[in-house]
């Protein structure tokens, strides 16, 4: 059975729904205290905390925008109150409505890059400060959520989102090599078409139906399927994996 560090803490950004929610459930079931970060859906975050508690685990909900440094610091302060940070899942991210590049505003691009890129950099910085043996830590794992869009480019739809996720791939490789000798493993997962509400938030609620036939396995994935891959990379079964980018995309 896959095991994870016990008596330790995990932070899941954007943890109240979708892939983040599924990750939080698995991590809690394997003995970690989980910080469920959310930005607006307090009800969903609290329901997850209650669900984890009912199953015998421990979790707290912490509001915060990962693109705002002060909010990130508050998230990590809450994690510090629970114990030693062992796992960071950089899951929070956004898409926008379907648009071509020649229709994109600076405001849209700033939001996209701030949340998806800076919102991964700042939490990772704070995690390294706590995990790195260079700073007196005991090691840990950082998992970044990328997207198969980084390979496909998402033309005519979300080139800005795809570009942000391409940056996450590069960041994963660079940070992994930077801290590999300091007890920290850094990996990423690239989901494909997954059955979550991110498609509706991008204004295309029927996107999966339109694209299902383009998926080699002829079906969409589930949040649980992605979360199991994320949590495998966070586990000691993946102890020699760092700088890895794992596609969970049905072959797409």
- Cα–Cα distance measured from residue 251 to residue 217, given in angstroms and rounded to the nearest whole number: 7
Q: Contact at 8 Å (CB) between 71 and 65?
A: yes
Task: Using alpha carbons, select from 62, 54, 2 the residue that is nearest to residue 26.
Answer: 2
Please state the three-class secondary structure of the chain as a single string.
CCCCCCCCEEEECCCCCHHHHHHHHHHHHCCCEEEEEECCCHHHHHHHHHHHHHCCCEEEEEECCCCCHHHHHHHHHHHHCCCCEEEEEECCCCCCCCCCHHHCCHHHHHHHHHHHHHHHHHHHHHHHHHHCHHHCCCCEEEEEECCCHHHHCCCCCCHHHHHHHHHHHHHHHHHHHHHHHHCEEEEEEEECCECCCHHHHCCCCCHHHHHHHHCCCCCCECHHHHHHHHHHHHCHHHCCCCCCEEEECCCC
Q: How far apart are CA 242 and CA 22, in angstroms?
A: 22
Instruction: Point out the residues that are catalytic.
Output: 161
- The span from the CA of 110 to the CA of 104, in Å, is 10
């Amino acid at each position: 059975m896959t095991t994870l560090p016990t008596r330790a803490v995990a932070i899941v950004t954007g943890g109240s729904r979708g892939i983040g929610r599924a990750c939080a459930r698995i991590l809690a079931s394997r003995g970690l205290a989980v910080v469920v970060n959310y930005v607006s859906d307090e009800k969903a975050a609290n329901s997850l905390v209650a669900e984890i508690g009912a199953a015998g685990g421990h979790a707290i909900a912490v509001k915060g925008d990962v693109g705002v440094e002060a909010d990130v610091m508050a998230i990590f302060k809450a994690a510090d109150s629970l114990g030693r940070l062992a796992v960071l899942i950089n899951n929070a991210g956004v898409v926008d409505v379907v648009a071509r590049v020649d229709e994109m505003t600076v405001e849209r691009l700033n939001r996209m890059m701030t949340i998806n890129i800076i919102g991964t950099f700042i939490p990772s910085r704070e995690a390294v400060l706590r995990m790195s043996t260079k700073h007196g830590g005991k090691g840990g794992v950082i998992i970044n959520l990328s997207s198969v869009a980084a390979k496909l480019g998402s033309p005519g739809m979300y080139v800005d989102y795809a570009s942000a996720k391409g940056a996450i791939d590069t960041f994963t490789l660079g940070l992994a090599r930077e801290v590999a000798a300091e007890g920290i493993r850094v990996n990423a997962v690239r989901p494909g078409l997954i059955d979550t509400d991110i498609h509706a938030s991008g204004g295309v609620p029927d996107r999966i139906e339109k694209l299902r036939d383009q998926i080699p396995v002829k079906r969409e994935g589930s949040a649980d399927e992605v979360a199991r891959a994320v949590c495998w990379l966070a586990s000691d079964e993946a102890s020699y994996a760092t700088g890895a980018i794992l596609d969970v995309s049905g072959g797409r």
